[in-house]
Structure 1
Amino acid sequence: MAIVNRTPDSFFDRGATYGEAEALDAVDRAVDDGAGIIDIGGVKAAPGGEVSPAEELRRVGGFVAAVRARHADLVISVDTWRAAVGRVVAGEGADLLNDAWGGVDPQLAEVAAEFGTGLVCTHAGHLPPRTRPHRMTYDDVVADIVTTTVGLAERAVALGVRPDSVVIDPGHDFGKNSRHSLEATRRLPELAATGWPVLVAMSNKDFVGEALAAGVDERLEGTLAATAISAWLGARVFRAHQVAATVRTLRMVAAIRGDADLAFARRGVV
């Protein structure tokens, strides 16, 4: 799942894909690099200037249709917590609504059911959107993640969302300190055991930076290490900024697991 942010203030790319032409080029590159899903966002997750529903739609509405026109078979995801936004982008051809804020707008799942889109059900620490965690505590963070995401998934299915289009996300850094995010990674098998496909969104996040004392531009190796471990432990979808490196990492994990053959075999054969 490649990240394409239509925002002027993204923490990682700092607005590099805010413009439509630049964003479309980024989509094309991500597809060429092996992404199977493009996740389009119009509001950065962190606190910042107010982004109204109308402004969010100005950024992502219409753009979804443009991406669909260029890539007929691509899975298009939109990162939004708002049902009003979800309704518009679903009508333009979005396949997946990525609700990173854990169901704060319960009507978003209803939109997914109405339009037949998939839904990402995320644990965000029960916080309002765009809120940084402060001294968050859990009796058992993974138990809370499992209970919350499975509850959201089951509600979505009860509303009519297809079970095979529901994904759960532990929400690294969302409503969590870095120790919580590391624990969620170690204990991913508990999420995989629920039977719902697990998405991880770890790319260049603060828990990687705090583990390595690394700035935002120095977190690739840590991100890829976390990606490889998460793949081994059962994650199925990987939201990433650096697509080519992530795809190579996942192919290597698949080869080690025996899920994928060699790209070519020469050593000791020819």
Structure 2
Amino acid sequence: MGIVNVTPDSFSDGGLYASPEAALAHARQLVAEGADVIDVGGESTRPGALPVDAATERARVVPVIEALRAETDLPISVDTTKAEVAAAALAVGADMVNDVSAGRFDDAMLPLVAERDAAIVLMHMRGVPATMQDAPIYGDVVAEVAAFLAARAEAARTAGVAAERIWVDPGIGFGKHREHNLALLAGLERLVALGYPVVVGASRKGFLGSLTGASLDERLAPSLAAAVLAAAAGARALRVHDVAATRAALAIANAVARAGRADG
């Protein structure tokens, strides 16, 4: 899942693709690199980020999604918590809603997804982006995240979303400290056991820099390590900035795994 941030303030690439033209060019590059899904977002959800209004967010993402749909049959996801933005994106060709609030911030979101027969990614997050890193506390973070995702998936199904349209995301870096993120990656199989496809977005996240001392621009290698580990644990989608490098790393890991099975 290749990331296209049409924002001035995303933590990794804010401002690089803030115009529709730049965002579309970046999306084309991700498609060329082998992305299976393009995820387009118009509101930063980095720690400390403040919300933007629906009209601004809609103006950022809709032209990009509409133009991209005219060029590719690949699935397109809109990264939003607002039903109004999701509706506009779905109307011009998006297939999926990636909601970091798991449908909690807008009561109209889950019914909309059901009505449009769209897919949805339900993500775990403590609080809101502006305050989510303010001393998050967990007992068993994997168990708590699993329970939350199971409950939100049930809420989506109750709203009419088909089970096969539901994806879940543990929300690496969203209201979690380094130890929480590591525990979630280590315990990912417990989330896979919920029975919904799991999305993992660890690309360039702060905990990778905390572990390695790598600056934001130096986090490719740790991002690839996290991606390979997540895929090995059963993640079905990896939300990444560096599509080509991630595909190459996964190709090696998959080849080794196949060789091991053949020898067995």
SS at match of 2:45: coil
For the aligned residues, what is the CA RMSD?
A: 1.6
Q: Which amino acid aligns with 1:155?
A: A
What do residues 134-192 of structure 1 show as CA deviations (whole Å, max 9, x unaligned)? 11111111111101111111211222212112110000010111110010000001001
Equivalent pairs, count: 258
SS at match of 2:88: helix
Partner of 1:86: 86
CA offset at residue 129 of structure 1?
4.2
CA offset at residue 50 of structure 1?
4.6
Q: Distance in 2 between matches of 1:30 and 1:182?
A: 27
Partner of 1:113: 114
The answer to whether 1:22 aligns with 2:39 is: no
Q: Which moved more, 1:14-23 or 1:237-246?
A: 14-23
The answer to whether 1:76 aligns with 2:82 is: no
Partner of 2:258: 258
Q: Distance in 1 between matches of 2:66 and 2:248?
A: 29
Q: Distance in 1 between matches of 2:249 and 2:160?
A: 35
**Contiguous gaps of at least 5 residues in structure 2:** 260-264
Partner of 2:215: 215
**Contiguous gaps of at least 5 residues in structure 1:** 260-270
The answer to whether 1:156 aligns with 2:156 is: yes
Contact 2:125 2:132 (C-alpha < 8 Å) held by counterparts = no
CA offset at residue 63 of structure 1?
2.1
CA offset at residue 131 of structure 1?
3.0
Q: Distance in 2 between matches of 1:74 and 1:118?
A: 14
What do residues 224-246 of structure 1 show as CA deviations (whole Å, max 9, x unaligned)? 11111111111110000011001
Contact 1:5 1:42 (C-alpha < 8 Å) held by counterparts = yes
The answer to whether 1:137 aligns with 2:137 is: yes
The TM-score normalised by the length of structure 2 is 0.93
Partner of 1:266: none
The TM-score normalised by the length of structure 1 is 0.91
Q: Which moved more, 1:157-166 or 1:219-228?
A: 157-166
Sequence identity (%): 39
Partner of 1:55: 56
Residues 234-245 of structure 1 mapped to structure 2, 5 A cutoff: 234-245=234-245
Q: Distance in 2 between matches of 1:50 and 1:143?
A: 29
CA offset at residue 107 of structure 1?
1.9
In structure 2, the CA distance between the partners of 1:107 and 1:184, relative to structure 1 (3 Å rule), is same
Q: Which amino acid aligns with 1:58?
A: A
The answer to whether 1:124 aligns with 2:125 is: yes
Contact 1:91 1:115 (C-alpha < 8 Å) held by counterparts = no
Q: Distance in 2 between matches of 1:123 and 1:14?
A: 23
The answer to whether 1:201 aligns with 2:201 is: yes
CA offset at residue 101 of structure 1?
2.2
SS at match of 1:102: coil
Q: Which amino acid aligns with 2:65?
A: V
